[in-house]
Structure 1
Amino acid sequence: MMGGVSSTSGRLDCDVLVIGAGIVGLSTAHALTRRAPGTRVTVLEKEPGPARHQTGRNSGVIHSGIYYPPGSLKARFALEGAAEMVKFCAEYGIPHQVTGKLIVATEHRELPRLHALIQRGRQHGIPVRELGPVQIAEHEPHVRGLAAIHVGTTGVCDFAAVTAQLARLARDAGTETRYGAAGQVTAIDRRPGRGVAVRTADGAVVRTRALVNCAGLHCDSIARLAGDAPQARILPFRGEYSELAPEREHLVRGLVYPVPDPAFPFLGVHLTRGVHGGVHVGPNAVPALAREGYAWPTVRPAELAGLLTHPGTWRMARRHWRYGAGEVRRSLSRPAFTAAVQRLLPEVTAADLRPAPAGVRAQAVLRDGTLVDDFLLAEGPHTVHVLNAPSPAATASLPIGREIARRVAGALGDG
């Protein structure tokens, strides 16, 4: 029972209820209506509109898939999703460009990792070219490095516009989306074999055959409300960006990345010329003190207490404290952040960098302190949970939506 309302009472309001109107949630709604036209889908979103968190606060990069191990969900979804996202943007007139990008080694110790990326790119069938310092300068005259690779299938787009288009397509297929208090989940009552009932902050109850949890930063909390015990806890990491002053935007032509450290699911401080102009620089990746903690002063004690009592938080901190200390130092010290940027772009100065809106990444952490690096989908009775949707989730949102729709159909016995 849920506040006196049982999931077994009354008629069903929809066939599938999706929690979360980010790009993954709305891609799932779109996929559900395409897979089985006539499926009644409702989307709940606590914000006043779609794409207000991770989807609308990223760098807008269409990732090629070069970083991801063969056989991983990230590799599969990114490789499918990159080409499909470009096609989707072209079909619906959404701003996008296939620019390619450089991954640049600035130190000798990075060269083996760069060469490993070349091999991985070729395994995936991604067009990659090796570059020396002269070729780097031909692509990016102001960038310096010992060696680089050019990845031809990387691009940029407007993911908020993609999400808005997915919302329109889902709506045209009959999907209902409820925002604000009408979309904020407060309780879930699930009965095996009998469906799910969800209460929202306005007091309404929505009854459904199946529930899909695409709640991003709150996905583990939603899973617990449903009566499941997720194997991972969300640890929010704030990505802090700067942008180049307009008069210095000429320093960067396209996309420039450092060689990532494979021990961490972050790509390091990089340079991104956006599809609408401007050059983003960053991000740092620092622990946020709230799930929607877009600045250091944003602290939610109950959420922070939940993080500090989770054993995975402390085990992760002990394992990676040195890396984390460097990120925090760059967050609090403008000279330290500028020095990180200068590894790729020596001409930049602190005066060239201006604050830009931050994002928060929903990073899943296991009880043993392991940072979950791949997509993590879990199923329960009448339920599919998306418990980790890391970069490249936006790039890969169309195939991810289809995969979730397939699992929902299987859970409902529809094939």
Structure 2
Amino acid sequence: MTNKHYAIIGGGINGLAVARQILLDFPDAKVTVFEKENAVAQHQSSHNSGVVHAGLYYEPGGLKARLCRRGAELVQQFCAENDVAYDECGKVVVALSKEEESRLDTIFQKSLANQVPDVRMLNASEIQDVEPNCIGTKALYSPRTAIVSYGAIACKIAEEIKLKGGEIVLGQKVVRLTEKNNKVSIHFENNEHYSTVFDYVVACAGLQSDRLAAHSGDIETPKIVPFFGQYYVIDEQFKSHVKGLIYPVPDPKYPFLGVHFTKRIDGQMTIGPNAFISFGRENYSGKKFNISDIYDFLTYKGFWKFSSKNMPAAMRELRTVLSQTNFVAEAAKYVPSLANVSVTPATRGIRAQAMESDGSLVDDFVIRKQGNITHIRNAPSPGATSSLAIAEYIVREVMTHD
């Protein structure tokens, strides 16, 4: 594995983490990262909640559970070693009804199986000991859940890659990979191809991962269907009403976590995100639309099957998209003192959600090796938390396995 030339497609936190891991494990290797933007971490890596997930929700034994737990430890260690801000502010997942309490008990059992540190259940009065303004009938408390800036971590990793002799090529969009005689060629959008061939390529293309994989000879599905999530910052005077993170109990029938309170590493308090179909895979402003992205999901039978199964949840989410008042009201169910708080739009994230043709959402991480090319096909939340562990897994297990 040493003295080989590796290419990483995508300069988000996952691509950068893989490049760094190769250089850590094989210091003599040559590593080149290709990023289509003019800076690293311009997409999901810098448009997210910043939460370092502890591993509460994930199916024990799955890749998500394993890599989230390992990833959370590695992120904490990386931040400590590189002087990156890290705030272990804690998180409560709050039930408001008997039905939610029973779902919360299931999450608690998963978190114990996943060995989430110091997690415990709180009764109604104990919730106020952690979050004085929060109401609920029962809550799951994860005191070790933390917040960071993944954009800042990604930039720090990029610096380390360069210090270790790796190269980061910006402003080059890779659209296809071809393999011949165990060597991989890289093809750019403008019909050019990179003059060097590579021994191994890892594609970490996020929102474009399905397209790059399919154009490079991998299977068509799962396809990426983009969902946006809008965050709002609450009025500065009210940010002390919430100390850390307050989440609802997720509905297992619907894949998104619901509107919640998230403290940011800069000290601001946000409410968000909602989850609704995005009219562009990279439409962060919400003001544009991309015809080919829209065509992609409208002509995908999986999208229509998903939509028909999730209409009530979609209508609930649409109300929060159309009205800030409805958005705040959803969050105020947990913190009534913030029922009338004013909010301003903040980060808008776009989730690269992998969807099968039967309308089911791919829950676990999907990492596929084909010859000397490895594609990350699905790495939604906790993808950023898990990034350093995903890198270990790819470099130490996937790439060495034939």
Q: Using structure 2 for the length normalisation, give the TM-score.
A: 0.95
The answer to whether structure 1 residue 162 and structure 2 residue 153 are counterparts is: yes
Q: How does 1:127-146 map to 2 (within 5 A)?
A: 127-146=118-137
The answer to whether structure 1 residue 89 and structure 2 residue 89 are counterparts is: no
On the 8 A contact 1:82/1:396 being kept in 2, the answer is yes
1:318 to 300, 308, 313: 308
On the 8 A contact 2:47/2:348 being kept in 1, the answer is yes
Q: Which residue of 2 aligns with 1:123?
A: 113
Q: 1:122 to 1:186 in 2, by over 3 A?
A: closer
CA deviations on 1:262-282 (whole Å, 9 max, x unpaired) are: 233321111111121100111
In the alignment, structure 2 segments of 5+ residues that lack a partner are none
Q: How far 1:409 moved relative to its partner? A: 3.5
Opposite residue 335 of structure 2, the aligned amino acid is L
Alignment partners' CA distance in 1, 2:320 and 2:265: 27
Aligned residues: 398
Opposite residue 100 of structure 2, the aligned amino acid is E
Q: Secondary structure at the match of 1:247?
A: helix
What percentage of residue pairs aligned between the two structures are identical?
Answer: 34
Alignment partners' CA distance in 2, 1:368 and 1:26: 33
Alignment partners' CA distance in 1, 2:150 and 2:113: 28
Q: How far 1:201 moved relative to its partner? A: 4.0
Q: Which residue of 1 aligns with 2:139?
A: 148
Q: 1:153 to 1:403 in 2, by over 3 A?
A: same
Q: Which range moves more in the overlay, 333-342 or 231-240? A: 333-342
Alignment partners' CA distance in 1, 2:4 and 2:331: 50
Alignment partners' CA distance in 1, 2:359 and 2:267: 39
1:335 to 325, 332, 335: 325
The answer to whether structure 1 residue 401 and structure 2 residue 395 are counterparts is: no
Q: How far 1:107 moved relative to its partner? A: 2.1
Q: Which residue of 2 aligns with 1:58?
A: 48
Alignment partners' CA distance in 2, 1:356 and 1:87: 28
Q: 1:173 to 1:332 in 2, by over 3 A?
A: same
Q: How far 1:341 moved relative to its partner? A: 0.9
Q: Which residue of 2 aligns with 1:3?
A: none
On the 8 A contact 2:35/2:168 being kept in 1, the answer is yes
Q: How far 1:410 moved relative to its partner? A: 2.1
Q: How far 1:61 moved relative to its partner? A: 0.6
Q: How far 1:128 moved relative to its partner? A: 1.6
Q: How does 1:215-364 map to 2 (within 5 A)?
A: 215-364=205-354
Q: Secondary structure at the match of 1:361?
A: strand
Alignment partners' CA distance in 2, 1:307 and 1:317: 11
Q: Using structure 1 for the length normalisation, give the TM-score.
A: 0.92
Computed over aligned residues only, the root mean square deviation of the Cα atoms, in angstroms, reads 1.8
Q: Secondary structure at the match of 1:198?
A: strand
Q: How far 1:196 moved relative to its partner? A: 2.5
Q: Secondary structure at the match of 2:67?
A: helix
1:185 to 174, 195, 198: 174
In the alignment, structure 1 segments of 5+ residues that lack a partner are 1-12
Opposite residue 195 of structure 1, the aligned amino acid is V
Q: 1:207 to 1:75 in 2, by over 3 A?
A: same
Q: 1:199 to 1:170 in 2, by over 3 A?
A: same
Q: How far 1:192 moved relative to its partner? A: 5.2
Q: How far 1:357 moved relative to its partner? A: 2.0
Q: Which residue of 1 aligns with 2:186?
A: 197
Alignment partners' CA distance in 2, 1:229 and 1:309: 17
Alignment partners' CA distance in 1, 2:54 and 2:175: 38
On the 8 A contact 1:186/1:201 being kept in 2, the answer is no
Opposite residue 390 of structure 1, the aligned amino acid is P
Opposite residue 188 of structure 1, the aligned amino acid is L
Q: How far 1:329 moved relative to its partner? A: 1.6
Q: Which range moves more in the overlay, 225-234 or 388-397? A: 225-234
